[in-house]
Structure 1
Amino acid sequence: MTTVGPLEDQLTADFYHYESLLPDEERKILLKARAFMRDEIRPLVNDAWAKAELPPELIEKFRGSGLIALGYEGYGEHKPAVSHLLGGMLGMEMARTDASVCTFFGVHNGLGFYSLYAGGSEEQRERFLPAMAGLDKIGAFALTEPEGGSDVAGGMRTTARREGDTWVLDGAKKWIGNATLADLVVVFARDIEDDQVKAFVVERGTPGFRPEKIEGKIALRIVQNAQITLSGVRVPEANRLQRINDFRDVAEILRQTRGGVAWMALGVMIGAYELALEYAKERHAFGRPIAGFQLVQDHLVKCLGDITASWGMLVQLARLQDSGIFRDQDSALAKAFVTSRMREVVARCREIFGGNGILLDHDIARFFADAEALYSYEGTQEMQTLIVGKAITGHSAFV
């Protein structure tokens, strides 16, 4: 455990000094990421969000950040393994600046990279991961379908048909982050022979693979989500991930990444709270800062309470992950609880801004809108509730 450290290094939202639980070396990594997000990424996000674009310079800045592939021991720049606590706090730190940027990172470095890391053979790891670690190739993860979200496990319509050493993929995927610019997309499809879900690495430019950007989003506008059409896409057996042979293997990936969304939700809460706190100190009404009004303080204290409770839950979640006794219901409860608290916190914070709260200039509108996406993706509130409900009652309420 490290000491609390200088006040200028502490987040105003870290009321119980949770960051002090990190060892000194890991806290240095977190502070470096904090400076990177503040100095390099923050100046780009409002313009990119307004234009619904992911600017190339943002990707280029990440390439030199040292954050890509952090925690995947032995790949890319041979970076060491890090604790789940640091991994979670890094996600929190990114979302504290912008949830879209954190989502881009999470899709590439989490869902995409981890699918290959956990599901690929050693040969596949060596072939794909070094380029992803250097951001020379961008990754994506294609599971959700136009007619299948929470029920995709049993209702996957995208199919895979084997012809010798080649697989033929047909179907469609939707809401696939990074897909319009990805070089490597991990596509999940149902093998028509054994009816099991398998995973395939589809490379950019493969005939029959067509990603189309989804327009008109009101949240996570920087993320380049796409609907993908697969028409006779031919993928070699060498690109089938050898360690993913049914949906249980897919669920293992989702179990690991679902907790990351809860950390992101914490970051969104903290970002919104910090904005509201500073605004309340600066904004005057009736001749005094609105921070001196009882009802504004009530909003801020309730926000801080939700942040502190959520952070404590996630610290214990990280400990469970590091201990190896991590269960589906652990990440499901965290995702359900923290995202629901996030929704309330960003609403309170936006309210403190009054009419200014709907202006992108004040940043809070971006947090308010992006929170809705985090609330829904990586498993809806209802699905997380059913997972935890089954665990505590012993009865499945799934249809």
Structure 2
Amino acid sequence: MRVVLGVAGGIAAYKACSLLRLLSEAGHDVTVVPTAAALKFVGAPTWAALSGKPVSTDVWTDVHEVPHVRLGQGADLVVVAPATADLLAKAATGQADDLLTNVLLTARCPVVLAPAMHTEMWDHPATQANVSTLTERGVHVVPPASGRLTGKDTGPGRLPEPEDLYAVCERELARSAAARTSTAFASADAAARGATTADVAGGGRRGDLTGRRVVVSAGGTREPIDPVRFLGNRSSGKQGLALAAAAAARGAQVTLVTSTPADLAGVDVVTIETALQLRDAVVAATAEADVVVMAAAVADFRPSTYVGTKIKKSHDTGADGSADESAPSITLVRNPDILAELVTSRGAASSPVIVGFAAETGDESGSVLDHGRAKLERKGCDVLVVNEVGEHKTFGADDNTVTILRRGSDESTEVGPASKAAVSDAVWDVVTTLL
């Protein structure tokens, strides 16, 4: 796909070289558009050698090809990394004094801006107002990371790592491709019904969660027996991480509570291990949330007693030195039902929207969907995502097949087999109708 990589004049411009290589190696056609200031940090020969294309900063080079319009119109994605405070201000106010800012004005594809600057500049009300304006327009602004900045300074303002930005770009490209396919099918259907393309082409997903606070839980919990052993389950956390990433891409402020290691650009990650830790973290994050998605596979039980030293497999007994080969007994107690507690604490209020997951297996008492509908009625959440699990099903896989149920409705949405990213967007499509 055709990608325009904009590079503004910040010290983090050197990281854009790695992002360019990742995009190129994935098969994308990348055109680099630096600002004049960016070339003070990384020269034009470097960009030309890595991209295989000539590099220009102004609108006068190859003017007969009208590059200031053509590049934006023809791109499938425009990403600017780093985006300086100056670039953000120009983009927010619609200035167009060089090739890159002209491209931003003419682009009708997804736009990703990755700010990088000193903490004081990032925190300044003017910069934050510009970020809010851009986000409201559907631009995906990737929050900067915290860490070492220029010199001895540390704090928020560091450009996220190229691998993280690449993942954001791939999600935007995949979402854009899916949206075009969906629109094409919808347009064909509309034509068959005598409708027009305009009847089906309104709006899009980018930015539809702007200003919303979202909490997502992910992964399986581990309930310790002793310092070595634990009770757990097969959950990989991939679906929960995909849900968090999709929400961030759609403009939400996301808190991810997870037992699965995660480093997602634009997502605040809280790491937990046990069900009790997960409950505490989710409850704390939910105070101001608009949506809570309980995608974690929370253990139903935990050992009633934690043994502080490793439980030995056998113990010597008696004068003859004979070994006790019996297995220890472990008494279990129930873990809290976090989903039910969230519904109860919300009471009659409509916020936050609460989404549950039901990992089910069919049995003699009913099908997977039967158990899912019963769970939705029992839990009282607004949306329940039902999927069949088992060995070689769902857990650890990159794709999923789900049925999305809504409280108070007999209708359901079937999704898959599809990537967990696509499933995530389908879930958020349903949730946004409730906000």
- TM-score w.r.t. the length of structure 1 is 0.26
Structure number with bigger Rg: 2
Q: Which protein has the bigger strand share?
A: 2
Q: Which protein has the bigger helix share?
A: 1
**Which one has more relative contact order, counting CA pairs under 8 Å at least 6 apart?**
1
- TM-score w.r.t. the length of structure 2 is 0.24
